[in-house]
Structure 1
């Protein structure tokens, strides 16, 4: 089944481009698609993967040097790991979401859980992970827990 399109010079089959290009389309381009093509198109391309329809069951494991927030998702375990730098400072250095579950704001939910607990425990966060750092740069409400 082919859906031909032309988007900023890209021409081809929609189903082959879903895996290759993950750029949002402009509204006028999307409005040309109808019926079930629209459903496939919005779920896999515009939104960028699965939509989180249910609440994640986020668990927290902690040990003397660090810990992790994790949740079981489609394809495996999504996690955010951190190290304890000082008594009230943690260094978030890694986030991972399995490829099958990417695009559903799962990593963002893990970061928000870490921030929520940091606020509760009066802890500061060093966002060493590139994803977490970008999220902290975009959202000014996270500045109060940022360590540097």
Structure 2
């Protein structure tokens, strides 16, 4: 699974691909110089339950750490993952 980050103005995307086929997408919006809001996650049906959403979230968390950005997870999936996984809470906007 390959996860690629793309930005287009104030929007950003983590796109999951396997064998050149889209497996999922997680989008975020820039809410300032040091805050992003994860607002949507979708995974293609054939990849449900295979950790695609988690991999996309980890890619965004990695980027946030590198850029010293905090995350507000409005997307229900992302919010739930932040509640479950202690090791990524360092980038959570308090």
Q: TM-score, normalised by structure 1?
A: 0.59
Pick aligned residue for 1:81 from 19, 22, 27 = 27
Instruction: Compute the displacement of 1:77 (Å).
Output: 3.9
Q: Which structure 2 segments of 5+ residues have no match?
A: none
Does residue 60 in structure 1 map to residue 9 in structure 2?
A: no
Alpha-carbon separation, structure 1, partners of 2:54 and 2:63 = 14
The answer to whether 1:138 aligns with 2:84 is yes
SS in 1 for 2:31: strand
- Larger of the two Rg values belongs to structure: 1
CA distance in structure 1 between the partners assigned to 2:10 and 2:40 by the alignment: 15
- Runs of 4+ residues over 4 Å off in structure 1: none
Aligned residues: 93
In structure 2, how many angstroms separate the alpha carbons of the residues matched to 1:68 and 1:116? 13
For structure 1, the 5+ residue unaligned runs are 1-55
TM value normalised by structure 2: 0.91
Q: Does the CA-based 8 Å contact 1:73-1:101 persist in structure 2?
A: no
Aligned Cα root-mean-square deviation (Å): 1.5
1:147 is paired with a residue of what secondary structure? Answer: coil
Higher relative contact order (CA 8 A, sep 6+): 2
